[in-house]
């Protein structure tokens, strides 16, 4: 045993480059595997993981502080089954006048603010994503899901006091729209609801089912005076909504995670196995001095195990450090506050990588140990003639090709097994590039090209009498007095699971209002065209699972195709008053088991209309959507006759904000002019795709680097001979780079169809999770020039990975290379 340890120690000291290479490749593989496996675990149940990490509230209870004393509220914390409680936190519902950066005027946005002295606590631990917690009474932290511009530094006015947004935070169960210091709540109460409110947050021992939650709520209600409980929110309702939002993104996260794991395994097997093969000559020497096959295997297992242990430990640390920005971006996509690497992943991954490293060393060491000493020494000094030599002789006949190039091109044939594994690793990396580019292009088309918010970025409607136009959905606001605002319109292909975005309180326009709006729109030089729009909600047969009814939109005055919404199949409805036709989204067809070309009878409030389904509209999410002419909508709902708003398309180069400012000024008070506020979700998703693609490229490139470095170490003597015969440093660099060029080119060419195939399988899975099919334009995002460029990705990865060791080979001295064995 001592002989084995001494031999291993001598090998570590004498082969420092090989030791460094093994340690580096294990570090990279461990870091990448930690990231990838952690992402796969988080993708399985991101809400549950974040709920546990943030100690989410099983139940949020809003109480009337005038109906329950402080002692009674405190006593409610000791209800049977309660494991943790936070609060009571003072709560107020207010309407804030919010300023929009770079847009004049303010808008009214309703908020529920809660007074908390700290973001942490035994229940509902808030995660600050931007900024800091309030330090003064005139500061507020907004929820990531709250309305308004959602920017640190913006301001709002409540009851005459100006609040500055100093942070953006995430509550996993959305317990409030914003948080201020408790001392600020007294000021807010003067402009808030008349009823004093407080929020109690509970965690219970039993809360897995709706029955458990109902029993828990009953126990809390019974512990408080009658009428004290104003409302309750269960985490199960939030969980169902969040899981629906997350489901579409899981397939591509899994795809990237699996690719990273596969590449990590391949480079470990390739480099470690190659390192042992490169030491075959030394194995022969060990056998010649009396080492048994078992001792040889033990010696080489120790040779790779020592740097592997160091690399695995360092890899876990690096993986967790890299996980911080990557998982933060992933959490934004999943709309949760905290994601992290599970502890068992930090333990399991390095152990698995080390076992894999040892297993990769045992095979070639056992084969070499079974050889005779003479055979091992001879085999280690040169590859078998039928591989490398035959290739070199064949390529040497190409007299028009420089000799360094042919020498490099013949190198992969010397170790075909190692070359094949390298090709596969680079192939996976290049396929990830193709997949990532295609996925980003498709999602950009979904969010940008297929939304009415891009084609019709400006929306105009009248302010309801006695009020303001309320916010239209997450991240959107309404405005009044002709002042421009940012109201995100409905987006076909919006974040799956998101709400249908409309303006709440939208009233039908009078003839005078329509005339005023049309006159003002026509007078604007940036107007391209416009559509009228009227939104409605109907309760229709066969669609009882739609809790909010069926969302109906009627476009008038022009071809509805101008809305920007994309058809998956069929055509748009006819605008003819006597024709009853509708277009519907995929969820409608799924819920009714109908298809394009079938008829559907709408029955609502005593009205009955039979219409033909003529098209399937790409409108993903959990809402059932129908689109019809104004005449058809009026037939099924006589109260919904007329125009609710105008949607305006702009000429190229015209700023929507500038146009809205000008149009708002022209209309004056009494009108709301809104603009599409942009898609923060798209930015988060494309950033995550880019980060994951770069991670995989880096892992594949480092795999090539280590493989080439090992190859140079193995052929150091040959390189010394070439230099002694007159090879220049530039020729040596060319030879090494050419040794991986063909490998990278072949891998890149094969990777393009592989990446496209992955794209064509993952994207429909994402769409189906969002209750939709896809239009052909979303899938057809690869042009011929783009595919040719992507085919070079493998070559770029291979050459980039080979440059560093190739430069080392070019700089090495001839005498030193000749002495290397």
Point out the least confidently predicted range of 187-191, 251-255, 593-597, 792-796.
187-191
Q: Angle 729-769/403-410 helices, nearest 10 degrees?
A: 50
Q: What is the pLDDT of residues 753-782, one digit of tens each?
A: 999 998 898 888 888 877 788 888 888 888
User: Residues 600-633: pLDDT tens digits?
Assistant: 888 776 678 888 999 998 887 777 888 988 888 8
What is the per-residue pLDDT for 51? 80
Q: Give pLDDT tens digits for 26-66.
A: 887 788 788 778 777 776 677 777 787 788 888 888 888 87
| pLDDT class of 451 with cuts at 50, 70, 90 | low
Residue 704 has pLDDT above 50, yes or no: yes
- H/E stretch holding 709: helix 680-714
Window from 386-400, 487-501, 581-595, 794-808 with minimum mean pLDDT = 487-501
Report the pLDDT averaged over residues 241-265: 75
Q: How many CA atoms lie within 13 A of 793 on its CB side?
A: 33
Label residue 505 by pLDDT band (50, 70, 90): very low
Rounded CA-CA distance 311/615 in Å is: 58
Residue 363 has pLDDT above 80, yes or no: no
Q: How much of the chain exceeds pLDDT 90, in percent?
A: 3
Distance CA 765, CA 452 (A): 24
- 600-629 burial, b at 16+ Cβ within 10 Å, e below that, comes to bebebeeeebebbbbbbbbbbbbbbbbbbb
Is 222's pLDDT higher than 50?
A: yes
Residues 6+ apart with CB under 8 A from 423: 743, 746, 747
Write out pLDDT tens, residues 514-572.
888 888 888 989 888 888 888 887 777 666 444 456 888 888 877 888 887 888 889 99
Report, in angstroms and rounded to the nearest whole number, the Rg of the chain calculated over CA atoms: 33
Local confidence band at 500 (pLDDT 50, 70, 90 cut-offs): very low
Which residues make Cβ contacts (< 8 Å) with residue 290, sequence separation at least 6? none
Neighbour tally for 444: CB within 10 Å: 16
Note the pLDDT of residue 491: 32
Rounded distance between C-alpha atoms, residue 296 and residue 292, angstroms: 6
At residue 381, the pLDDT reads: 56
> In the prediction, which pLDDT does 468 show?
44
Q: Strand, coil or helix: what is 437? A: helix
Give the HSE-up count for residue 406: Cα atoms under 13 Å, Cβ half-sphere. Answer: 15
Q: Between these two residues, 491 and 697, which has the higher pLDDT value? A: 697
Distance between CA atoms of residues 86 and 77, nearest Å = 8
Per-residue confidence (pLDDT) for residue 571, from 0 to 100: 92
439 touches 689 (CB < 8 A): yes
368 pLDDT band, cuts 50/70/90, is low
Q: What tens digit of pLDDT does each residue of 129-174 get?
A: 788 888 888 888 888 777 665 677 777 888 777 888 888 888 888 8
Residue 146 CA to residue 169 CA, distance in Å, equals: 10
Distance CA(224)–CA(226), nearest Å, equals 6
Instruction: Provide DSSP, 303-362.
Output: HHHHHHHHHHHHHHHHHHHHHHHHHHHHHHHHT-S-----HHHHHHHHHHHHHHHHHHHH
Copy the structure tokens of residue 418.
């190692």
Residue carrying structure tokens 């076909």: 492
Check residue 103 and give its pLDDT.
Answer: 46
Residue from 393, 682, 640 nearest 506 by CA: 640
Q: Of 269-278, 420-429, 567-576, 713-722, which gets the smallest average pLDDT? A: 269-278
Estimate the crossing angle of helix 680-714 against helix 250-278, to 10 degrees: 10
Mean pLDDT of the chain: 76
User: For the segment 285-296, what is each residue's pLDDT rounded down to a tens digit?
Assistant: 776 777 777 777
* pLDDT value of position 612: 92
pLDDT tens-digit profile of 635-685? 888 877 777 788 888 888 888 878 888 888 888 777 878 776 555 667 777
- Give the mean model confidence (pLDDT) for residues 318-325: 80
What local confidence, expressed as pLDDT, does residue 243 receive?
A: 65
Predicted confidence band at 749 (pLDDT cuts at 50, 70, 90)? very high
Mean pLDDT lowest among 423-432, 574-583, 711-720: 711-720
Provide the pairing of β-strand 178-180 with 103-115. parallel
Quote the DSSP letter at residue 414.
Answer: G
Instruction: State the Cα–Cα distance between residues 685 and 496, nearest whole angstrom.
Output: 13
Q: Are 546 and 591 in contact (CB under 8 A)?
A: yes
pLDDT tens per residue across span 371-385:
776 666 666 555 555
Q: What is the pLDDT of residue 616?
A: 92
Most confident of 62-66, 276-280, 348-352, 385-389: 348-352
The pLDDT of 474-481, averaged and rounded, is 33
Query: In the prediction, which pLDDT does 501 show?
Result: 30
Query: Does the structure show a pLDDT above 50 at 25?
Result: yes
Q: Which two tokens stand for residue 510?
A: 């009078």
Poorest-confidence range of 479-493, 505-519, 581-595, 714-728?
479-493
pTM of the predicted model as reported, rounded to 2 decimal places = 0.69
């Amino acid at each position: 045993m001592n002989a084995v340890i001494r031999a291993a120690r001598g090998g570590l000291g004498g082969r420092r480059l090989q030791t460094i290479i093994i340690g580096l490749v294990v570090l990279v593989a461990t870091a990448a595997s930690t990231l990838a496996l952690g992402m796969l675990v988080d993708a399985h149940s991101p809400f549950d993981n974040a709920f546990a990490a943030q100690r989410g509230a099983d139940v949020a209870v809003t109480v009337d502080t005038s109906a329950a004393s402080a002692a009674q509220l405190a006593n409610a914390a000791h209800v049977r089954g309660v494991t943790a409680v936070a609060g009571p936190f003072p709560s107020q519902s207010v309407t804030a006048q919010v300023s929009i950066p770079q847009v004049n005027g303010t808008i009214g946005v309703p908020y529920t603010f809660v007074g908390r002295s700290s973001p942490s606590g035994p229940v509902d631990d808030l995660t600050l994503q931007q900024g800091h917690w309030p330090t003064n009474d005139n500061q507020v932290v907004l929820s990531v899901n709250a309305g308004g511009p959602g920017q640190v530094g913006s301001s709002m006015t409540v009851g005459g006091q100006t609040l500055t947004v100093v942070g953006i935070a995430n509550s996993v169960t959305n317990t409030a729209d914003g948080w201020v210091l408790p001392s600020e709540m007294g000021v807010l109460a003067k402009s808030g609801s008349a009823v004093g409110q407080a929020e109690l947050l509970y965690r219970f021992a039993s809360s897995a089912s709706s029955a458990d939650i109902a029993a828990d709520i009953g126990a809390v209600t019974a512990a408080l005076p009658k009428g004290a409980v104003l409302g309750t929110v269960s985490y199960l309702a939030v969980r169902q909504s969040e899981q629906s939002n997350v489901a579409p993104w899981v397939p591509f996260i899994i795809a990237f995670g699996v690719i990273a794991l596969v590449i990590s395994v391949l480079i470990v097997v390739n480099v470690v196995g190659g390192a042992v093969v490169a030491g075959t000559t030394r194995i022969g020497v060990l056998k010649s001095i009396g080492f048994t096959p078992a001792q040889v295997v033990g010696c080489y297992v120790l040779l790779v195990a020592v740097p592997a242990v160091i690399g695995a430990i360092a890899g876990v640390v690096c993986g967790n450090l890299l996980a911080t920005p990557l998982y933060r971006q992933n959490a934004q996509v999943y709309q949760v506050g905290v994601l992290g690497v599970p502890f068992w992943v930090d333990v399991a991954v390095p152990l698995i990588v080390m076992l894999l490293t040892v297993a990769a060393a045992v095979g070639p060491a056992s084969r070499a140990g079974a050889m005779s000493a003479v055979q091992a020494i001879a085999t280690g000094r040169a590859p078998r003639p039928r591989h490398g030599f035959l290739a070199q002789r064949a390529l040497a006949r190409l007299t028009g090709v420089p000799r360094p190039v042919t020498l490099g091109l013949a190198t992969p044939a010397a170790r075909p097994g190692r070359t094949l594994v390298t090709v596969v690793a680079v192939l996976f990396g290049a396929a990830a590039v193709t997949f990532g580019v295609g996925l980003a292009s498709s999602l950009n088309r979904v969010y940008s090209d297929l939304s009415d918010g891009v084609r019709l970025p400006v929306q105009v409607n009248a302010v309801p009498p006695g009020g303001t136009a309320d916010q239209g959905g997450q991240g959107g606001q309404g405005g009044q007095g002709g002042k421009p605002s940012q109201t995100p319109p409905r987006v076909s292909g919006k974040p799956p699971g998101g709400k249908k975005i409309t303006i709440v309180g939208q009233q039908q326009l009078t003839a005078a209002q329509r005339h005023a709006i049309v006159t003002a729109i026509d007078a604007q030089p940036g107007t391209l065209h416009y559509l009228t729009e009227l939104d409605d909600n109907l309760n229709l047969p066969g669609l009882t699972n739609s809790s909010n009814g069926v969302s109906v939109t009627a476009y008038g005055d022009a071809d509805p195709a101008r809305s920007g919404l994309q058809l998956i199949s069929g055509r748009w409805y006819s605008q003819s008053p006597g024709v009853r036709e509708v277009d519907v989204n995929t969820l409608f067809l799924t819920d009714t088991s109908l298809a394009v070309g079938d008829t559907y009878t709408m029955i609502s409030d005593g009205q009955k209309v039979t219409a033909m389904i003529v098209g399937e509209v790409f409108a993903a999410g959990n809402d059932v959507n129908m689109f019809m002419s104004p005449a058809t909508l009026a037939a099924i709902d006589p109260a919904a006759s007329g125009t609710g708003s105008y949607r305006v398309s702009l000429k190229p180069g015209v700023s929507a904000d500038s146009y809205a400012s000008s149009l708002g000024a022209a209309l004056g008070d009494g009108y709301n002019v809104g603009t599409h506020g942009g898609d923060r979700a798209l930015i988060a998703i494309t950033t995550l795709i880019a980060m994951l693609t770069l991670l995989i490229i880096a892992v594949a490139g480092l795999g090539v680097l280590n493989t080439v470095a090992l190859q140079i170490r193995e052929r150091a003597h040959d390189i010394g001979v070439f230099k002694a015969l007159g090879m220049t440093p530039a020729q040596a660099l060319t030879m090494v780079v050419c040794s991986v060029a063909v490998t990278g080119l072949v891998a890149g060419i094969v990777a393009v169809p592989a990446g496209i195939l992955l794209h064509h399988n993952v994207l429909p899975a994402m769409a189906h999770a969002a209750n939709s099919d896809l239009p052909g334009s979303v899938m057809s995002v690869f042009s011929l020039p783009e595919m040719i460029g992507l085919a070079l990705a493998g070559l770029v990865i291979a050459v980039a990975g080979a440059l560093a060791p190739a430069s080392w080979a070019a700089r090495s001295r001839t005498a030193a290379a000749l002495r290397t064995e």
